[in-house]
Amino acid sequence: MLTVLVSGLAIGALYAATGLAYNIMFSTSKVLSVTTGHICMLGGVFGAYFMLDLGLPAPVALVGAVLVGAAFGLLTEVIAIRRVLARSDEHLWLLSTLALATMVQQAVGLWWGTEPRPFPRLADQDFTAGVLDQKYWLPIAAVVAMALGLEFFYRRTMYGKVFQAVSEDAFAARARGIATDRTRALSFAIAGALGGLAGFAAGQLTFAFFALGLTLTLYGFIALAVGGLGSNVGALVGGVALGLFQTLATYLFGGEYQQTIAVGLLMVVLLVKPEGLFGSKKVRPV
Amino acid sequence: MTTSSLPRLGTLAVGGILAVTLPFWVGDFYQLHLAALIGVYWVLIAGLNLVVGYTGQLSIGHVGLLSIGSYAFAIVVGRYGVDPLLTLALAGALGGLCGFLLGLPSLRLPGFYFAMATMAFALIMAELSLAQGGLTGGGAGLPVPGFAAPFDTPTGFYWLVLLVAALITWMTWNVARLMWGRGLIALRDSEVAAAAVGVPIFRLKLTVFTFSGVTAGIGGALFASLQSYITPETFVFELGLFFFVCIIIGGRGSILGPFVGTVVLTALPEMVAPLAKLGNFFYGLLLLAVVLVVPEGIGHVIKSVLARLQKKGPDPKGLQPDIGRLAAAVRRGMRQDIQRGHAS
């Protein structure tokens, strides 16, 4: 039972990390990128690639995975977001990020193979450690570090305040001389780096698997929608709740209905509280 | 729309004759199979086009509804021996019901939420078809029976598909060109404005989505019969993405565009071997290119190029207001108002 809870917490941490990555990108661009889950997938796959195929030590591989994630985040912004936002059609960003996500997933599938591959152990540890196993606490530690780091960044640094200004009102921020385009690109790079970190840390839990991206895009989004769009606390709570809910349901009813249960949770929350648990109600006065 | 109806009718007639006589001049059975596959896809895409192209609701998970139709057909015909043509209608009804039930909560959601809900629906359907092994055969899949006597040969089946596809195209065309279609387009371009002029937003969305569920169910039944064996692997999420891409690439708010998109995207990977290997990468690349370069879709480009060739005008989109007629209409309207004022 304890193992169930801890594994739920760990997988929930990965969902929460995906939710955080969504939030970072959403705050500056008001875009929910379909590629968010694929960033984490890239972190896991490239981590495994650096360590297994190239034989690099773990810290170097971690830096590499984070850099790949950041590069992909930046690429998303440059290719799929920048031109589309300039044209200001509501739905186009959804199409462009969907296209990019499909391309990345297929490219990784062709290059890396469609079978999930095991992720190497990062620290020396017996497989008998049970609930203390690193595959559980690494993602949890990573997401806690991410959340604390983000909070520090938003509250205490100049750039964090710039981010908040852009997120509050992009036009006003621009009028004050903030380069909103550059801020947006930076936010995508940061989301990419954090997503890469999360994917790397959770690699032993999820394996290096090319189709992970789409699932994470969905679950991260559910975590965010449950917790409340735009709220980091909401992403954490929603992610952990979703993870625990899923593993408990699997424990009680068997593993066949994971997605059905997750989406059921989403639907219930959206019906009862459409803005999510910690979301701010944004009603446009007409 | 009706300005150049004669050449248009001519083209339609030539296209129709070509499509009907296709089994006689096509090279081999494989190409006939491909033509039937295009027809089956089009049955679904024609309905989806009303949702995606006209109403602007980005449903990327129609493959879930397709799988419902397929499994319903395989189970009802294969296990209970019901007449296939009757089951075809039954699959359509079931697809419509599921579309209705899916649309009821999810169509209230804004853009990205709706797309995610339909994607989740597709994943759930894949999961259920794996989990309910007693009903669907689980991962091993189900054999699907064919149709009865006149439609049991490849040629006969092709004609059945053609008939259904023509019928559904005609229906969507009727929806699109009449008041309904205007309402849908108004809804797509601005929900608030559409609601303000009295378009019943949610009811319209739900009706169209249910209709797309019916076509998806029928398409699913035909698809299953064409494939003759279905497993959960047949209905991967990427197939739903493919339907979606066909419409976006073809162009939103038109019927011909998505049709051309369907034909080209189905046939191209089969004709050009390297593209088949790239598969979804190719579709993604195409989608990205279309979204970035011509968001209106390729059909729109073709149309404007044609218009430019015909007219040689400076701007194919530009309208010359007929001032005299406009003034006359305004005057007439005012006169009527005055008369009505006197009457009351």
pLDDT at A88 over 70: no
Q: What is the 3-state secondary structure (H, E, C) of chain A?
A: CHHHHHHHHHHHHHHHHHHHHHHHHHHHHCCCCCCHHHHHHHHHHHHHHHHHHCCCCHHHHHHHHHHHHHHHHHHHHHHHHHHHHHHCCCCHHHHHHHHHHHHHHHHHHHHHCCCCECCCCCCCCCCCCHHHCHHHHHHHHHHHHHHHHHHHHHHHCHHHHHHHHHHHCHHHHHHCCCCHHHHHHHHHHHHHHHHHHHHHHCHHHHCECCCHHHHHHHHHHHHHHHHCCCCHHHHHHHHHHHHHHHHHHHHHHCHHHHHHHHHHHHHHHHHHCCCCCCCCCCCCCC
Residue to substitute from B60, B247, B292, B300, interface A, most A β-carbons within 10 A: B292
Contacts of B56 in chain A (CB under 8 A): 91
**What is the C-alpha to C-alpha distance for residues B89 and B99, in angstroms, rounded to an integer?**
15
pLDDT at A87 over 90: no
Rg of chain A in Å (alpha carbons): 18
pLDDT at A42 over 90: yes
Ranges A108-122, A232-246, B138-152: which has the least confidence: B138-152
The whole-number average pLDDT for the span B199-210 is 91
- Between A40 and B146, whose confidence is greater? A40
Q: What is the 3-state secondary structure (H, E, C) of B244-257?
A: HHHHHHHCCCCCHH
| Residue among A17, A12, A11 nearest A198 (CA) | A17
Residue to substitute from B55, B63, B248, B288, interface A, most A β-carbons within 10 A: B288
pLDDT per position as a tens digit, A180-199: 889 999 999 999 999 999 99
Residues with Cβ within 8 Å of B237's Cβ and at least 6 positions away in sequence, in order, are A214, B61, B63, B119, B122, B123, B126
Helix (H, G, I), strand (E, B) or coil at B61: coil
pLDDT at B332 over 60: yes
Select the residue of B117, B124, B284 nearest A260 (Cβ to Cβ).
B124
Residues with Cβ within 8 Å of A200's Cβ and at least 6 positions away in sequence, in order, are A43, A44, A47, A61, A62, A65, A66, A142
**What is the C-alpha to C-alpha distance for residues A221 and A285, in angstroms, rounded to an integer?**
27
pLDDT at A271 over 80: no
pLDDT per position as a tens digit, B76-103: 998 888 888 999 999 999 999 999 999 9
pLDDT at A227 over 60: yes
Confidence (pLDDT) at A9: 92
Q: Is B291 on the interface with A (CB under 8 A)?
A: yes
Q: How far apart are the first and last CA of chain B?
A: 39
Confidence (pLDDT) at A15: 94
What pLDDT band is residue B2 in, cutting at 50, 70 and 90?
Answer: very low
pLDDT at B38 over 50: yes
pLDDT at B285 over 80: yes
Q: Answer yes or no: do B127 and A87 touch at CB < 8 A.
A: no
Q: What share of chain A in percent tops pLDDT 90?
A: 48
Confidence (pLDDT) at A265: 82
Long-range contacts of B175-182 (CB under 8 A, 24+ apart): B175/B50, B175/B208, B175/B211, B176/B50, B176/B54, B176/B255, B177/B1, B180/B204, B181/B54
> Domain map of chain B by residue range?
14-316
Contacts of B291 in chain A (CB under 8 A): 84, 92, 95-96, 99
pLDDT at A16 over 60: yes
Domains, chain A, with CATH or none: 2-117+133-272 (1.10.3470)
pLDDT per position as a tens digit, B114-126: 888 898 899 888 8
B281: which 2 tokens?
A: 């990468």
Contacts of B105 in chain A (CB under 8 A): 267, 270-271
Select the residue of B58, B112, B120 nearest A32 (Cβ to Cβ).
B112
Confidence (pLDDT) at B191: 84
The whole-number average pLDDT for the span A47-71 is 92
What pLDDT band is residue B1 in, cutting at 50, 70 and 90?
Answer: very low
CATH of B14-316, one of 3.40.50, 1.10.1220, 1.10.3470, 3.30.450: 1.10.3470
**What is the C-alpha to C-alpha distance for residues A75 and A87, in angstroms, rounded to an integer?**
18
pLDDT at A20 over 90: yes
**What is the C-alpha to C-alpha distance for residues A98 and A106, in angstroms, rounded to an integer?**
12
Strands (E), B27-141: none
Helix (H, G, I), strand (E, B) or coil at B230: strand
Q: How far is A105 from chain B (nearest CA, A)?
A: 8
Q: How far is B129 from chain A (nearest CA, A)?
A: 10
What ipTM was reported for this prediction? 0.85
Contacts of B277 in chain A (CB under 8 A): 110
